[in-house]
């Protein structure tokens, strides 16, 4: 999964792809480099980012989804949003997956909308509200807490008729460095083996901050962690650098 940020304020590539021409060029590059899913993000969710309404997200997306579908009909598009209204817009434009960082917590219509559209739904582990999503939480055992969350949420989704569910542990959202390294080590225990796992650790601070590096200077360390989660059964890597991610996938598949 290649990341396409349509935002001016994302932490590592803000402003690079927030016009149609540059976004299409980046999409083409990622697809050629081996991406199978393009994850479109109209709103940054980094700490202290600008908060957008659904209407502002939709305005920022504009024709981008339909343009990508027209230019690259073979591509799969996921839409990174926590608004049901944005999902409905994206569905009409041709998206293939919903990527909701809020696990349905920020919009009580999200699960119903996922059921109505019948799109695959990426369920992320996160704190209960937008205001607290980056607050560091204390967990007696991060893996147990995460599985309790996933169990509750997947049951809700299944009851509503959402059957295609992908789990995202939510690296970078309200978890300590220590908990996130434990998550890496225990990926194989997440989700009870029932649902595919998406791992999004690309350019996350729990990797680069302890090393005193920038988000752009930890590729080697990131790929080692990517390989580790693939070996434990992870099915999707959400990445900024598709070339390096693809190399790691190819190495794993040898």
Which residues are catalytically annotated? 204, 238
Q: Which two tokens stand for residue 171?
A: 């690296």
Radius of gyration of the chain (CA): 17
Q: What is the DSSP string of 151-181?
A: HHHHHHHHHHT---EEEE--TTSS--HHHHH
- Cα 66 to its chain centre, rounded Å, is 21
Output the CA torsion sign for 91, 92, 95, 99: negative
Q: Which two tokens stand for residue 102?
A: 């809020």
User: Alpha-carbon distance 76 to 99, whole Å?
Assistant: 12
User: Alpha-carbon distance 59 to 7, whole Å?
Assistant: 12
Sheet containing strand 37-41, edge to edge, reads: 2-5, 37-41, 76-80, 97-100, 121-124, 165-168
Q: Which two tokens stand for residue 152?
A: 């509750």
Identify which of 86, 92, 123 has the alpha carbon closest to the alpha carbon of residue 105. 123
CA distance readout (Å), 162 to 32, 62, 158, 159: 32, 27, 5, 7
């Amino acid at each position: 999964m290649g990341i396409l940020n349509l935002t001016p304020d994302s932490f590592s590539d803000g402003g690079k792809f927030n016009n149609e021409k540059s976004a299409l060029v980046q999409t083409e590059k990622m697809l050629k480099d081996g991406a199978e899913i393009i994850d479109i993000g109209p709103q940054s969710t980094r700490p202290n980012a600008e908060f957008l309404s659904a209407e502002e997200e939709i305005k920022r997306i504009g024709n981008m989804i339909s343009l990508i579908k027209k230019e690259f009909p073979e591509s799969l598009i996921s839409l990174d949003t926590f608004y049901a209204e944005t999902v409905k817009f994206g569905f009409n434009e041709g998206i293939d997956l919903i990527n909701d960082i809020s696990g349905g917590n920020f919009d009580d219509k999200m699960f119903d909308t996922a059921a109505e559209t019948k799109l695959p739904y990426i369920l992320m582990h996160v704190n209960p509200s937008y205001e607290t999503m980056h607050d560091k939480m204390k967990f007696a055992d991060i893996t147990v807490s995460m599985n309790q969350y996933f169990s509750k949420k997947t049951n809700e989704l299944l009851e509503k008729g959402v059957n295609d569910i992908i789990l995202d542990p939510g690296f970078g959202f309200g978890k300590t460095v220590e908990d996130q390294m434990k998550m890496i080590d225990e990926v194989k225990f997440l989700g009870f083996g029932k649902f595919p796992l998406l791992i999004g650790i690309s350019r996350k601070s729990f990797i680069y901050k302890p090393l005193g590096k920038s988000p752009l200077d930890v590729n080697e360390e990131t790929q080692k962690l990517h390989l580790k989660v693939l070996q434990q059964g992870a099915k999707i890597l959400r990445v900024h650098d598709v070339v390096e991610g693809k190399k790691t996938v190819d190495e794993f598949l040898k």
